[in-house]
Amino acid sequence: MTSINERVLLELVMAKPWKRLLAWLIDQAFLSALVLFPIFLLLAEPYPYVLISEVLLLMSLLYFTLMEGAFGRSIGKLAVGITVYSENGRRVGFSRAMLRRIGMITPILLFLDAAVILATSRKQRLFDVIASTVVVEGARVPEAVAYLRGADVDKLLARCGITSRAPVEEKRNLARALKKMEEMQAKLKALRARGELTRGEYARLKEKYEVRVKELKERLRES
Phi/psi for 135 (5° steps) reads: -115, 125
Predicted pLDDT of residue 68 = 94
188/30 Cα distance (integer angstroms): 36
Instruction: Reply yes or no on whether the pLDDT at 160 is more than 80.
Output: no
Q: Using the 8-state DSSP alphabet, how is residue 133 labeled?
A: E
Domain-located, residue 104: yes
Question: Which position has the higher pLDDT, 2 or 187?
Answer: 187
Residue range 179-219, pLDDT digits in tens: 888 888 888 888 788 777 777 778 888 888 888 888 888 87
Q: Tell me how crowded residue 29 is: count the other CB atoms within 10 A of its CB.
A: 12
Domain shared by 94 and 35, yes or no: yes
Residues facing residue 82 across a β-bridge: 137
Domain-located, residue 124: yes
Domain shared by 21 and 126, yes or no: yes
Domain-located, residue 1: no
Categorize the per-residue pLDDT at 55 as very low, low, confident or very high, splitting at 50, 70 and 90: confident
The domain in which residue 169 lies consists of: 143-222
3-state secondary structure of 83: strand
Domain shared by 93 and 152, yes or no: no
- Residues in the chain, how many? 223
Categorize the per-residue pLDDT at 4 as very low, low, confident or very high, splitting at 50, 70 and 90: very low
How many structural domains does the chain have?
Answer: 2
Domain shared by 149 and 177, yes or no: yes
Predicted pLDDT of residue 163 = 45
Task: Give the mean model confidence (pLDDT) for residues 26-31.
Answer: 92
147 residue type, one letter = Y
Task: Give the mean model confidence (pLDDT) for residues 161-188.
Answer: 73
Domain shared by 99 and 171, yes or no: no
Identify the domain boundary among 108, 137, 166.
137
Residues 6+ apart with CB under 8 A from 95: 69
Categorize the per-residue pLDDT at 164 as very low, low, confident or very high, splitting at 50, 70 and 90: very low
Instruction: Reply yes or no on whether the pLDDT at 167 is more than 80.
Output: no
